[in-house]
Structure 1
Amino acid sequence: MINSSAIDSPSFSRRQLLNFLTGTTIAVTASAGLYTVGKFLVPPAEKTGAGGGIIAKDVLGNAIPASQILAEAPGTRALVAGLAGDPTYLIVKEDGSIDSIGIVDVCTHLGCTFPWNGNDQEFQCPCHGSRYHPDGSVARGPAPLPLKIVQVAVVDDHILITPWTALDPRTGEKPWWV
């Protein structure tokens, strides 16, 4: 008789190996694509200071030095990118300093942005006709609420903008956005 030994079968069959390689290739490709889409959809985190403050920036994302704003005439309202990129007006006071209150340029009716009208001394929303006093309180609707305000501080020629959490100085009540 001939000695016959049992043939050991491999732990992976050819079909299992190809299925494994195909699944791994698809998983790696899908992960790379999802990572890229995720990086595109999630905005980068901003470096914030104490209390969630950020440095005021221009439309291109460059920090605006306080000396640039202070070079403007008293009474000027300079538009900068503030918290969450919202357009924010900074006011140059008569004494040549920047006011500690900034006004966020987003209409409380439907979220439009609008210019300061120096002739009428008010903010005028062109979308639906809302008008706001120089301090951001509602002069005429349909806007139901005053404009959001932020705290502004100058530190080493940087303009630091932080969320307003104290009582609203215009109404004496807790701010609606807190």
Structure 2
Amino acid sequence: MDDSLPLESPSLSRRQFLNFLTGATVAATAGSALYATGKFFIPPAETTGGAILAKDILGNPIPATQITAEAPGTRALVAGLAGEPTYLIVKDDNTVDTVGIVDNCTHLGCTFPWNPTDQQFQCPCHGSLYAPDGSVVRGPAPLPLKIVHVAVVNNSILISPWTETDPRTREKPWWV
């Protein structure tokens, strides 16, 4: 009798291993591409009334305490509706104002900074100037800046579309 152990063939041949490795690579690549495509086509999570959470440049929700920690009168830039850059205003009582101003020039759609020294928004492209409430001080911008509703609920900042009468012009908003 032979007491030696029989040599069994390995459970995976080289061909089977390479086929498995190729299949896993294809599946991982396709899965990540499908995930990214799905995230692109699925709209952001909404709350009641079409409001969305204010987010930072990386897409992370911004807590209200982060904005209210700034000095009164500060304009904080966040990603608002449809990812549009939106200025939130810190009021004198260290709360967030209920009106946000969208950072898109009504002349050619440029983004622009808030100038705290002059207390106005200044578009560097063609020289349009806007008052602190977003109304036009000097053209060529033909219309006031778009505004949005801002609400703070449980330390979350919710931004929703402004569809009522524009308080600056007393007319129907041009963006509706």
For normalisation by structure 2, the TM-score amounts to 0.78
After TM superposition, list the pairs within 5 Å mapping 1:36-115 onto structure 2: 39=37, 42-115=40-113
CA RMSD of aligned residues (A): 1.8
How many angstroms does 1:50 deviate by? 1.2
In structure 1, the residue matched to 2:25 is none
How many angstroms does 1:40 deviate by? 8.0
In structure 2, the residue matched to 1:133 is 131
In the aligned structure 2, how far is the partner of 1:101 from the partner of 1:143?
21
C-alpha change, 1:43 and 1:125, in structure 2 (3 Å) is farther
Q: Give the letter for the 1:111 counterpart.
A: G
In structure 2, the residue matched to 1:144 is 142
- Say which SS state the counterpart of residue 151 (structure 1) adopts: strand
Q: Which runs of 5+ in 1 are unaligned?
A: 1-31
Identity %: 70
In the aligned structure 2, how far is the partner of 1:120 from the partner of 1:51?
36
2:122 paired with 1:120: no
In structure 2, the residue matched to 1:176 is 174
In structure 2, the residue matched to 1:21 is none
How many angstroms does 1:41 deviate by? 10
- Say which SS state the counterpart of residue 118 (structure 2) adopts: coil
In the aligned structure 1, how far is the partner of 2:57 from the partner of 2:39?
20
Q: CA offsets per residue over residues 35-92 of structure 1, 9 Å max, x none?
A: 96x9389543111111111000000000000000011111111000000000000000
In structure 1, the residue matched to 2:160 is 162
Q: Give the letter for the 1:70 counterpart.
A: T
Residues matched between the structures, number: 144
| Structure with greater Cα Rg | 1
For normalisation by structure 1, the TM-score amounts to 0.77
